Amino acid sequence: MTNRNRSREMYEQACRLLPGGVNSPVRAFQAVGGNPLFIERGQGARVYDVDGNAYIDYVCSWGPLILGHAHPAVTAGLAGAIAGGTSFGAPTERELVLAGLITDALPSVEKIRFVNSGTEATMSAARLARAFTGRQKIIKFAGCYHGHADSFLVQAGSGALTLGVPSSPGVPPGLSSLTIVLPYNDLDSVREALQQWGSEIAAVIVEPVAANMGVVLPGPGFLDGLRQLTREAGCLLIFDEVITGFRLGFGGAQGYYGITPDLTCLGKIIGGGLPVGAYGGRTEIMKLVAPDGPVYQAGTLSGNPVAMEAGIITLNLLKQPGIYQQLEERGEHLGQGLAKAAREAGIDTTLNRVGSLMSLFFCSESVTDLDSALKSNQEQFARYFNLMLNEGIYLAPSQFEALFVSLAHTREDLDQTIKVAGRAFLQMREN
């Protein structure tokens, strides 16, 4: 058993100062038991906890660290940026550079606004869609997470087509009733909802590859169908690409699947590990955003030059030829290895993967929506998580999160991970 005494001591102190001892709930290990690790530093594919233990890291800060930790170009670039000051509350050239990289990569994004998180991006996109259409209702999908803005902390009401109810205290029922929650991959439910509420729907927001119920891929025709149905209904299609943006390819999920959304929300990778979010779309819509137009949205640190620098360096490296082929090869090797190891140990698993983004569910059926994801054996996942952690493999501490592979993960790292997983599955079979 690895020594984690300092993490434990720090967590006890943290719990006196921070709700749940963390600054974001999923970090608290509540789904897998035990105390969270306190991380001292990261380097490449590894993180090191305050007790000096090393782990091959597949959380990658929940997606941003696609280059791995402390990439030399990023740390050098940040040192240079910081030397000139950290924030001015005024336009800087770095905002133009990152905006140019993103708008060149995503043709559907003619104009973009930087914010500080994915939550701000989706919250602002929803406000903008409501202003542009003059409508109030939003359709989202069960199991998709779009950050913690009130309009999205909503769960399906009694029936799929009923109006949403708050999924958190503090969210006004009056607001949540403007959100309709439908099953992911269920185009018929979208068709019915648009028939029932079409003239009131401002937007449909979707994770083009869902990654917050575990990874769930869009079924054949799902995204195309959303594009067509929203166009017919006169509402906007919002792609929440906070995770998929620059993860699936340099053109994001919209490039990978060939769909043109009306608005795109970004985060994570575009900040290279620093706090950056963004929303964007065609000029016809974005021109409504203040100060061009009347839709208010603002932020003290929006477009922060140091954060911009991290994003610029990261995207410039991702733009190099062959990068996404390398990520695909790594993802395929790891995914196939994990699935094979589970199969050989007689443990039922389902692997959902696209590129370097994947989830291993502990169930035998396919996972295509939240209901099927919830059939996964969460106790088995918790046992798997801890067996892996004790052998130096750091996975996301929840069945309903994703596994991220970075460019820093070597073949040896992946093979070591597969070997440890094989031992874990055998132990799971024994008891």
Quote the tokens at residue 290: 């203040």
240 is catalytic: yes
- In what side-by-side order are the strands of the sheet with 357-361? 350-354, 357-361, 403-404
Residues contacting ligand KE4: total by CB under 6 A: 19
Residues between 144 and 163 that touch ligand KE4 (CB under 6 A) = 145-147
**What is the Cα 198 distance to its own chain's centre?**
28
- Residue 28 DSSP code: G
Query: Please, which of residues 231-260 interact with ligand KE4 by CB under 6 A?
Result: 240, 242-243
CB 129 within 8 A of CB 202: yes
Which lies closer to ligand KE4 via its Cβ, residue 400 or residue 425? 400
User: What residues from 306 to 365 belong to the interface with ligand KE4 (CB under 6 A)?
Assistant: none
Catalytic residue among 145, 184, 279, 324: 145
Per annotation, catalytic residue among 57, 140, 268, 324: 268
Give the C-alpha separation, 408 to 344, whole Å.
Answer: 28
Contact pick of 119, 176, 254, 359 for ligand KE4 (by CB under 6 A): 119
Residue among 27 and 111 whose Cβ is closer to ligand KE4: 27
Q: Which of 186, 207, 369, 413 binds ligand KE4 (CB under 6 A)?
A: 207
Q: Which of residues 373-412 bind ligand KE4 (CB under 6 A)?
A: 401
57 binds ligand KE4 (CB under 6 A): no
55 is catalytic: no
Whichever of 23 and 336 has its CB closer to ligand KE4, that residue is 23
Stretch that binds ligand KE4, among 112-120, 192-200, 316-324, 331-339 (CB under 6 A): 112-120
CA angle 333, 337, 338 (to 5 degrees): 120
> Quick one: which of 92, 108, 122, 417 contacts ligand KE4 (CB under 6 A)?
122
DSSP string covering 293-357, please? SSB----TTTT-HHHHHHHHHHHHHHTSTTHHHHHHHHHHHHHHHHHHHHHHHT---EEEEETTE
Alpha carbon distance 61, 371 (integer Å): 27
**3-state SS, residue 145:** coil
| C-beta of residue 358 within 8 angstroms of C-beta of residue 402 | yes
Rounded to a whole number of angstroms, the minimum distance from the CB of residue 148 to ligand KE4 is 7
| Binding residues vs ligand KE4 (CB under 6 A) | 24, 26, 62, 117-119, 122, 145-147, 207, 211-212, 240, 242-243, 267, 277, 401
Give catalytic residues, as residue numbers.
Answer: 145, 240, 268
